[in-house]
Amino acid sequence: MVRALGLLVFLAATWLLLSGIYDHSLLYWLGAASCLLCVFIARRMDVVDHEGAPLELGWRIIVYWPWLFVEIVKANIDVIGRLLHPTPNISPTLVRSKTLQRTDLGRVIYANSITLTPGTLSIDVDDEKGILIHALSRDGAEGVLTDDMNRRCAALESDKLHARAQKDMTS
């Protein structure tokens, strides 16, 4: 029930932020009804769980997002500079990064963070081999291999999240 309430609050906040309309009470009621309907459907589909609504990430993810945003901006500047240069310095590279994350959710956050960063793309995620990454340049590949993002994504995981993942694997 707590996860459903968290999902409802998240949907309502997203609706308010994206609608940009704050002066029509009818729209508030319609927005609230749509959010409630979405939560009802999600509960009926049994997708409101620890992976669908990872409340355990809490404040950690809020600290992670600004850092990721800065990394995305820096990577954008790097890619634009490489492409606009008279002789583009592009050397497509495949590398494999071992994952430090202990849960599937942590690995997904890491893989998505890599893909969100311009110039890099997560191709394959494997528990044992790690993540196969395509980078636009050798420098970009070396940046991924510094493991800064890997460590930050691993720090997102709480012991509670890890324990729940272990419990799910045994059942």
Mean pLDDT by 10-residue block, N- to C-terminus, for the chain (171 residues)? Answer: 83 87 82 92 81 67 90 93 87 91 86 92 89 90 88 80 56 56
- Tell me what pLDDT residue 28 has: 86
Q: Are residues 11 and 67 in the same domain?
A: no
Q: How many domains does the chain have?
A: 2
Q: Are residues 92 and 31 in the same domain?
A: no
- Dist. CA 139–CA 123, nearest whole Å: 18
- Tell me what pLDDT residue 46 has: 81
Judge whether 50 lies within some domain.
no
- pTM score, whole prediction: 0.70
- Dist. CA 140–CA 93, nearest whole Å: 9
Q: Are residues 96 and 152 in the same domain?
A: yes
Q: Are residues 27 and 111 in the same domain?
A: no
Dihedral (CA of 80, 63, 59, 11) sign: negative
Judge whether 27 lies within some domain.
yes
Q: Are residues 37 and 70 in the same domain?
A: no
Which of the 8 DSSP states describes residue 56?
A: G
The burial class, CB within 10 Å (0-12 / 13-18 / 19+), for 60 is: middle
- Tell me what pLDDT residue 77 has: 94
- Tell me what pLDDT residue 112 has: 93
Domain boundaries, position 95: 57-170
